[in-house]
Amino acid sequence: MKKHRLYQSFLNAFAGVVFAFRSERNMGFHIVAAAAAISASFYFNVGKAEFLSVLSAVFFVFMAEMFNTAVEAAVDLKTRKFHPLARVAKNVAAGAVLFAAVYALVVALVVFFGPVRVRFF
């Protein structure tokens, strides 16, 4: 019985990921940016630590976007009309995504600035 529950938990988690990727328009941008960052990591042959930094930034942005999706869904479920606290919850969750995206940009600048400068200038 526990194996079934564990299996079902993984299926539910996967369904949540699929929902976030299909329903959030910003996920498309995040996917393109993630692909570019990972491709650049291979192109510039960055070290293990730098590659892990890039991957952690990518996953951090995806996780923040999924948490934002969850907050928005929960707020929408509870509130049928405008409420100032609903706006606060959604804005704060969106702010977390913004922070994650800025962090990812900083990681990209730190990791790739040296290689880009050497190869192109």
Q: In this model, does residue 120 exceed pLDDT 70?
A: no
Return the CATH fold of 2-120.
Helix Hairpins (1.10.287)
| Predicted pLDDT at 121 | 47
| Predicted pLDDT at 33 | 94
Q: What is the pLDDT averaged over residues 31-56?
A: 95
Q: Rounded to an integer, what distance in angstroms lies between the CA atom of residue 23 and that of residue 4?
A: 28
Q: What is the pLDDT averaged over residues 74-90?
A: 88
Active centre residues (catalytic): 65
